[in-house]
Chains A and B, each alone.
Chain A
Amino acid sequence: MEPILNQLFAGVSYGSILLLIALGLTFTFGQMGVINMAHGEFIMFGAYTTYVLQEVLGKDQITYAFLLSLPIALVVAGAMGLLLEMTLIKRLYGRPLDTLLVTWGVALVLQQLARDIFGANNVEVVSPTWLEGGITVFGIDMAYNRLFIIGLALAITAAAWVVVGKLKQGRRMRAVMQNRQLAGASGINTPSVDRRTFFLGSGLAGVAGVAITQLGSVGPNLGTNYIIDAFLVVIVGGLGHLRGAVIAALALGILNSLAEYWSSASLGKVIVFMAIVVFLQFRPQGIVASESRGLA
């Protein structure tokens, strides 16, 4: 029984990572219909932000560097997203396939940029001491860094839900996504809303990048490892729905860790992908049905 419980925890923990990396994409892809292949690179730059802060503040300020990097990464990645929106993507709304090609090119440029700035070698982000080690509850080993990521995912999801569901800003966002012309005719400055949404979506990718530094090392290819998973979560969850993304991330995380436990790491991934294909055959609109006309 214990191994299964441990696996469930591993699944929830993996699911929370999936949720973090996919949250931003529910805005940019799910709501705006932009297939942003550079989303992974925003994650990567968020991770490098942590590294830079740690180097600047020094080895004895690791805790501050790490906590400080959460808001700073949001701004850094958000600003990059904003720049991308204002220069390229704003010309491509309603042309999802073109956004795919353009942002993929941007992703390659950003990867090379990271390689030129930080070198091809991966760099190490030192974990704050309070994130090392773990506790055992009912035979489940919970590493502190995993618990932190789960907590962070919950907090960010709650914040995103408040923004989208409760604030004026979120209402405008939803209005623009559901019917751009009508929203514009009602006096909403749609280009401004687009910019804000894109800033938010990209910024969340940066925050995810900070969390990921606690799992492994940081390198220029970090983003490519996560981009596919992020898209899967958004598509399975139903385009643009936070609730769907949460369910999908958890389901995929747990399915992945259980499948991996009963088979092997490579085969586990195959099983997950096959399950997704079958699921989308029967429910192409995802877990939560979308009423927007995003990709239609």
Chain B
Amino acid sequence: MQTLGGFVSTREKGSRFWLAAILVMCLSAFVAVGCGSDDESSSSGSSTSSSADSGDTIKVGILHSLSGTMAISEKSVVDAEQLAIKEINAAGGVLGKQIEPVVEDGASDWPTFAEKAQKLISEDKVAAVFGCWTSASRKAVLPVFERNKALLYYPVQYEGMEASPYIFYTGATTNQQIIPALEYLKEEKKVKKLFLVGSDYVFPRTANKEIKLWAKANGMEITGEEYAPLGSTEFSTIVNKVKASDSDAVFNTLNGDSNVAFFKQLDGAGLPSSKLPIVSVSIAEDEVRAIGADKVEGQIVAWNYYQTTPGAANEKFVKAYKAEYGDDRVTDDPIEAAYVAVYLWAEAVEKAGTTDVEKVKEASKGLEFDAPEGKVVVDDENQHITKTARIGVINKEGLIDTVWESDGPIEPDPFLESYPWAKGMTPVDG
């Protein structure tokens, strides 16, 4: 710098002032951020108890994405888990103690999920963790839970091919959701040519591998298979390919916000549901709310529970959820499965008389619960639960009407051992 001495000194004064100003700005930003996350995880840190059920409370972990591309789906699941905990606490808690949730943000980033899982287990000493949505995040935390012999309750439908001894799966495996959906397409919609669209990660890739095996055995032609990066919003090429393929239907395994862009762009390309039905397995009432009901009206979804599912248990659940979070909120399958997960854990703990992981697992075998979706039973072997498959159509209020239902609950079969066509099915890595 070629400047005069005097000038330099004023500059220095100036820059010291600015340095201070920046510091103040940064500090206030940190304080703001800190406050923001404080109300989310109000209970983390302060306690130094050595075991989950020492003291007056039992700590449990809640680990979902509160930010990033998956937050659209996972925030409501957190609400459902909080609601179940509140209800159980109001009824006296478990083992006479109140449940204390510790909430962590996985931030739609899989290594962060693994880090936070370890933190919940070793620092907060939680008795169990309710968490994850994407299979990628579940695969990231699986070794953490197995290594620490800790419990994870996973509330979302997934691709199967897994049965960790330390995970309870309260969402559907493929034979309770995807296979019934395919059979519905074949029998009811007479679909001959099917196009597969999914996000580029483990769930869609494994699910599509299973769909292709099924299609081969059932004489359905797969006209294309396309993947978009998670969070992608550019779908014109995929929409063009779908259009050029002359398919009867699309099987959609996109996750998160990509669905918004995908349906918007299909709409723009002149492919409404009447011309090209799309079966989605990751869009429930909550996502419909975010996409806008007018863009997905008439589209088909496959789940095990809808807000409209009849039954006293569901009426009570929907009422409690709306009372807690507002009338404009909706319940859906993962929300229900997350709610059920907390109750299943609490019942198992009551039955076992302790939060000890091995004893809770033992007590969970054959455990029954009157869930909003109907009675569910925990499988002795694979720790999944029985579920009734329900195919639904999205209506203009953004709710889903059941159009087809399986004959009673379907036993979980994560490895598809009872299906001859699935022989040789191997999971897709990471």
B290 and A261 contacting across the interface, CB-CB below 8 Å = no
Residue A61, interface by CB 8 Å: no
Which single residue of chain A is at the shortest CB-CB distance from B289? A124
Residue B44, interface by CB 8 Å: no
Which single residue of chain A is at the shortest CB-CB distance from B228? A265
Q: Smallest Cβ distance from B70 to chain A, in angstroms?
A: 10
Residue A91, interface by CB 8 Å: yes
A264 and B227 contacting across the interface, CB-CB below 8 Å = yes
Q: Which residues in window 103-140 of A have CB below 8 A to B?
A: 109, 112-113, 115-116, 120-122, 124, 126-127, 132-134, 136
Given the complex of chains A and B, what is the CA–CA distance between A10 and B238 in angstroms?
10
Interface residues on B, range: 35 or more
Tell me the interface secondary structure of chain A in the complex: helix
Binds A, one of B85-93, B239-247, B418-426: B239-247
Q: Which residues in window 207-239 of B have CB below 8 A to A?
A: 226-229, 231-234, 236-238
Given the complex of chains A and B, what is the CA–CA distance between A268 and B234 in angstroms?
12
Given the complex of chains A and B, what is the CA–CA distance between A219 and B73 in angstroms?
14
Residue A215, interface by CB 8 Å: yes
Which chain B residues lie closer than 8 Å to A220 at the CB level? 67
A225 and B261 contacting across the interface, CB-CB below 8 Å = no
B270 and A116 contacting across the interface, CB-CB below 8 Å = no
Contact pick for B233, options A113, A146, A216, A257, CB 8 Å: A216
Q: Smallest Cβ distance from A16 to chain B, in angstroms?
A: 12
Which chain B residues lie closer than 8 Å to A132 at the CB level? 267-268
Q: Which residues in window 1-35 of A have CB below 8 A to B?
A: 2-3, 6-7, 10, 13-14
A141 and B243 contacting across the interface, CB-CB below 8 Å = yes
B260 and A217 contacting across the interface, CB-CB below 8 Å = yes
Given the complex of chains A and B, what is the CA–CA distance between A2 and B243 in angstroms?
10
B36 and A143 contacting across the interface, CB-CB below 8 Å = no
Which chain A residues lie closer than 8 Å to B365 at the CB level? none
Which chain A residues lie closer than 8 Å to B273 at the CB level? none
Given the complex of chains A and B, what is the CA–CA distance between A88 and B68 in angstroms?
28
A219 and B269 contacting across the interface, CB-CB below 8 Å = no
Binds A, one of B15-23, B111-119, B325-333: B15-23
Q: Which residues in window 19-65 of B have CB below 8 A to A?
A: 21-22, 26, 29, 32-33, 36
Interface residues on A, range: 35 or more
Q: Which residues in window 230-286 of A have CB below 8 A to B?
A: 257, 260-261, 264-266, 268-269
B268 and A144 contacting across the interface, CB-CB below 8 Å = yes
B240 and A216 contacting across the interface, CB-CB below 8 Å = no
Q: Which 6 A-B pairs rank lowest in CB-CB distance, beginning with the nearest?
A: A143-B268, A216-B233, A216-B261, A10-B236, A120-B67, A260-B237
Known interface pairs A3-B241, A122-B260, A143-B268; 17 further A-B residue pairs with C-beta atoms within 8 A, sorted by A's residue number: A6-B240, A6-B243, A7-B240, A10-B237, A88-B18, A91-B18, A109-B26, A112-B32, A115-B36, A121-B71, A121-B290, A132-B268, A133-B267, A133-B268, A217-B261, A221-B68, A225-B233
B residues adjacent to A (C-beta < 8 A): 15, 18, 21-22, 26, 29, 32-33, 36, 66-69, 71-72, 75, 200, 226-229, 231-234, 236-238, 240-241, 243-244, 257-258, 260-261, 264-265, 267-270, 290-292
